[in-house]
Amino acid sequence: MILVTGLLLGNLVTAQESAVINMQAGKKLKEQGKCADAIIYFVKALELKSDYAEALYESGWCYNEMKDFARAAGVLSKANSLQKNNPGILYELGYAYYNLDSADLALALYKKVLLIDTAHLQTLIGIGDIYRNKKSNVYEALRWYLRALLNDQTNIKANYGAGWCYNELKDYTRAVPYLLRVVQQDSVNYAALNELGFSYYSQNKFEEAINTLSVSESASVKSETALYYLGLCYVKTGKKQDAVKRYNALVLMNSKLAPALLAEIQKM
Instruction: Quote the CA–CA distance of 168 and 231 in Å, as a whole number.
Output: 21
pLDDT tens per residue, range 100-124:
999 999 999 999 999 999 999 999 9
Question: What residue ranges define each of the domains in the chain, with the CATH number in brackets?
Answer: 15-118 (1.25.40.10)
Under 8 Å CB-to-CB from 156, ≥6 apart: which residues? 181, 182, 185, 186, 189, 192
- Long-range pairs, 243-251, Cβ under 8 A, ≥24: 243/268, 249/222, 250/224
Mean pLDDT, residues 249-253 taken together: 96
Mean pLDDT, residues 15-39 taken together: 92
Q: What is the average pLDDT value for the chain, to the nearest integer? A: 94
Amino acid 12: pLDDT? 53
Weakest-pLDDT range from 174-178, 180-184, 216-220, 237-241: 216-220
**% helix, strand, coil for the chain, step of 5:** 80, 0, 20
* Cβ neighbours of 253 (radius 10 Å): 14
Backbone angles phi, psi at 253, to 5 degrees: -90, 0
Q: Residue 161 corresponds to which amino acid?
A: G
Mean pLDDT, residues 37-56 taken together: 94
Distance of CA 54 to the CA centre of its chain: 23
pLDDT score of 5 more than 70: no
* Cβ neighbours of 114 (radius 10 Å): 17
Residue 249's pLDDT band, with cuts at 50, 70 and 90, is very high
Mean pLDDT, residues 142-164 taken together: 98
Instruction: Quote the CA–CA distance of 6 and 103 in Å, as a whole number.
Output: 51
